[in-house]
Chain A
Amino acid sequence: MARQMTGAKMVVQALKDQGVDTIFGYPGGAVLPIYDEIFQQNDIRHILVRHEQAAVHMAEGYARSTGKPGVVLVTSGPGATNAVTGLTDALMDSIPVVVLTGQVPTFLVGTDGFQEADTVGITRPCTKHNWLVKDPAKLSETIHQAFHVATSGRPGPVLVDMPKDVQFAVATYTEPKAAKTDHYQPKVKGDLDAITKLVELIETAERPIFYTGGGVINSGNAASQLLRELVEATGFPITSTLMGLGAYPASGKSWLGMLGMHGLYEANLAMHGCDLMINLGARFDDRITGRIADFSPRSTKVHVDIDASSINKIIPVDLPILGDIGHVLEDVLKVWKSRGRKLNKSGLEKWWKKIEEWKKVNCLAYTASENTIKPQYALQRLEELTKKYDRYITTEVGQHQMWAAQFLGFEDPNRWMTSGGLGTMGYGFPASIGVQIAHPDALVINVAGEASWLMNMQEMGTATQFRVPVKQFILNNERLGMVRQWQELLHGERYSHSWSESLPDFVKLAESFGWKGMQVSDPADLDDAIMEMIAHDGPVLFDCLVEKHENCFPMIPSGKPHNEMLLAADAEVFKEGAALV
């Protein structure tokens, strides 16, 4: 039975039919009809943010921690332009987000009306797809299509721009099932011949490595399970990008840790020295490859990806497999088992011996201190004291982010939310709110630096209003630590504008928003303070004063190959190992 309703009502109905329980938004003139509908229902919870950028990051946190798309509702003009950073972030990290924006009425479009911006024009390069809906009869179908596009294939952000007169107009509602989505159906099954070829490579490889990325997590829990099965069955070592942490458990025996610019020594050298690289859902980002010409020079490279444009974009590969990771892994396991589970056991044994030697370098070593909290120490204690909890971690961007990736262990997918591709300072705090909204009883911690954290600190009000007990674990070095590190290593120690001047009193700031504020500077007090933070039933701003000049190692300087890693001065350099590969 065809249902007639206003455009505004259709928006709310379409969201309900898409299974949406929460939206993040901020009202304004051009979305008032929709806000009026939201007021008159109880199925969808609206989280009022304090800035539209934060709304998108919250939706990202929600999406990344649940596997469901995050939804944002903002007004025209500044509402939409403020969302641009979040959209770009979600595009770079393939996070499914649906952003609904109001627009000036159709008869005002193009006249420089009040709060008018060319939203679809501005967001075209930072969305997977976007729509301007001028016909009320197409509104509900377009929203259903938006959800389909956001969540199919390589996920990403989409935007639907809705002029105000379209929200008022009455038209027929289209049910989700009736919406046309057949045109956009990315291929999920991998080519069986190519998969068989991969199995042949697996059977004979002497020095193989799995290099996994965010694609495994986007593919869903089943993909992570299949990955674990394949890694356990083959005994191949596995490393992951920043985005892929948790797909394979950090406690797993084949885990080498993260790779890349601040990745582990053993992971990077294994990538450099391998003879078979199996890339699952990673995209050879420049933070991973270092100098292209010297990237893993002697390996046969296999790349499984759902996005054809990711294949051969940076690194030419020998065997591309276009498809969804979960589907491909299922077939790989099937074919490999049917051919008798063959492996090059003697080769693998030698390979692991070499890797064990690299591990002995202990690349994450740092000089401990009794007087100052070392950031690495703070994270080690945080890991030790929180790992038993139902825990989700978000981060801001910078040194603390890399230390968090190095020192925290992730046992499951969807537990780690970080801005990888775009590197958005200000991501972590709102993302942590989005995660906590989706998982009200979990322990949600944002590992932050003080500079990043200040970029979206206005969201303290949101956390208080919605009783979101997020823990903000700020490693406060009063510096833009990563900028400072580059200036020290690459710019003659000229520290141009890389310190945090005029910082607030974080404890008082917390209290002014009704939060608990804590400050710790003595390593001896750290454990008790962390336990106090966890125990507090409400949001906590944890100001952890750390060593101001600590550098993050290992580090592959930009443009250098994997075997030219810088280690902390006190790490025992294993020169022979580097020379051998």
Chain B
Amino acid sequence: MAALKIKKGSSSHSAYDLRDSHSQVESSHTLAVIVDNEAGVLARVIGLFSGRGYNIDSLTVAEVDHKGHKSRITVVTRGTEAVIDQIKAQLGRIVPVHEVKDLTVEGSPVERELALIKVSGTGDKRIEALRLAEIFRANVVDSTLESFVFEITGTPEKIDAFADLMRPLGLAEIARTGVAALSRGA
């Protein structure tokens, strides 16, 4: 029988998508899930991930359309190509889910996270912490004689780097929002 003459690697919405789903290489994907902001919708999404054994690396949610009561859930997940496709299909069939966008497939998305980082210390360490904060464009949003709270915005990697530098300087507590992401371009 003649082999299928079908172009491989087209979009995941195409009926002719023949990417190698046996691939065992895991990659990180940032998904934007637009949902009705109704009771239990976040539990549905999280329950899907835990019930089917998918990873959640980061998750943020907030209502983005107050009139239409739509929320945007940004979830960073990881898996093989087949698993990512399955996650998207499973999300897509949740009744209050309107749209599932794979921002990673659409092109490297703009990703930002906000963190509040408390650093305690005195003397040289305190001065060094403040100096590094300037380099990272972190703002001081609270200060006492023994501590600072820095506010920093950036990619998760930038926040990781800043937190790592603060660790020897007296990092006491860190709160992170998780990633908010948009695709680039119009």
- A residues touching B (Cβ–Cβ < 8 Å)? 120-121, 124-125, 128-129, 132, 149, 153-154, 183-184, 191, 193-194, 197, 201, 204-206, 275-276, 300, 307-309, 311-313, 316, 318-322
Contact = CB atoms under 8 A, between A and B. Distances in A.
A550 B94 CA distance: 44
Interface stretch (B43-51, B121-129, B143-151, B155-163): B43-51
20 contacts: A120-B39, A121-B40, A125-B47, A125-B51, A132-B39, A183-B36, A184-B95, A197-B15, A201-B1, A204-B2, A308-B92, A308-B93, A309-B86, A312-B21, A312-B86, A318-B4, A318-B18, A319-B15, A319-B16, A321-B15
A204 B1 contact: yes
B21 A193 contact: no
Contacts of B16: 193-194, 197, 319
B22 A307 contact: no
Contact of A316 (B4, B21, B40): B21
Interface in B61-97: 82, 85-86, 89-90, 92-96
A124 B44 contact: yes
Contacts of B39: 120, 132
Contacts of A154: 93
A296 to B, nearest CB: 13
A97 to B, nearest CB: 15
B89 A311 contact: yes
Contacts of B1: 201, 204-206, 275-276, 300
Interface string B1-35: 11010100000000111100110000000000000
A313 to B, nearest CB: 6
B98 interface: yes
B133 to A, nearest CB: 43
| Residue in A153, A308, A318 with the greatest tally of chain B CB atoms within 10 Å | A308
A149 B4 contact: no
Contacts of A124: 40, 43-44, 47
A400 B55 CA distance: 40
A128 B86 CA distance: 17
A96 to B, nearest CB: 14
Given A197-B6, A276-B1, A308 B89 contact: yes
A237 B27 CA distance: 41
B95 A128 contact: yes
Contact of A312 (B4, B85, B93, B95): B85
A191 to B, nearest CB: 5
Contacts of B15: 191, 193-194, 197, 319-322
A204 B1 CA distance: 7
Contacts of A191: 15
* Cβ-closest 4 pairs across A and B: A194-B15, A309-B89, A129-B95, A316-B21
Nearest to B89: A309
Contacts, number: 72
A406 B39 CA distance: 46
Nearest to B91: A309
Given A183-B36, A318-B6, 9 more contacts: A124-B47, A128-B95, A191-B15, A193-B16, A194-B15, A197-B16, A312-B85, A316-B22, A318-B18
Nearest to B3: A300
A3 B96 CA distance: 28
B93 A307 contact: yes
A120 B40 contact: yes
A313 B51 contact: no
A276 B1 CA distance: 9
A345 to B, nearest CB: 14
A320 B17 CA distance: 8
Nearest to B48: A125
B24 to A, nearest CB: 13
Nearest to B82: A312
Contacts of B21: 312, 316
Contacts of A183: 36, 98
Contacts of A205: 1
Contacts of B4: 197, 201, 300, 318-319
Contacts of B96: 129
A309 B18 contact: no
B70 to A, nearest CB: 11
Contacts of B22: 316
A235 to B, nearest CB: 17
A307 B16 CA distance: 17
A309 B51 contact: no
A276 B2 CA distance: 11
A316 B82 contact: yes
Contacts of B43: 121, 124
A308 B96 CA distance: 16
Nearest to A191: B15
Contacts of A120: 39-40
B58 to A, nearest CB: 23
A552 B59 CA distance: 49
A153 B15 CA distance: 18
A309 B82 contact: no
A128 B6 CA distance: 35
A120 B39 CA distance: 10
A112 B18 CA distance: 52
B47 A313 contact: no
Nearest to A154: B93
A366 B90 CA distance: 44
A316 B92 CA distance: 19
Contacts of B90: 309
Contacts of B40: 120-121, 124, 132
Contacts of A321: 15
B18 A313 contact: no
A306 to B, nearest CB: 10
A197 B2 CA distance: 12
Nearest to A276: B1
A91 to B, nearest CB: 12
Contact of B92 (A201, A309, A312): A309
A309 B93 contact: yes
B40 to A, nearest CB: 6
B18 to A, nearest CB: 7
A534 B16 CA distance: 53
A321 B96 CA distance: 24
A222 B111 CA distance: 49
Contacts of B18: 318
A125 to B, nearest CB: 5
A322 B2 CA distance: 24
Contacts of B51: 125
Interface core residue of A154, A194, A321 (most chain B CB under 10 Å): A194
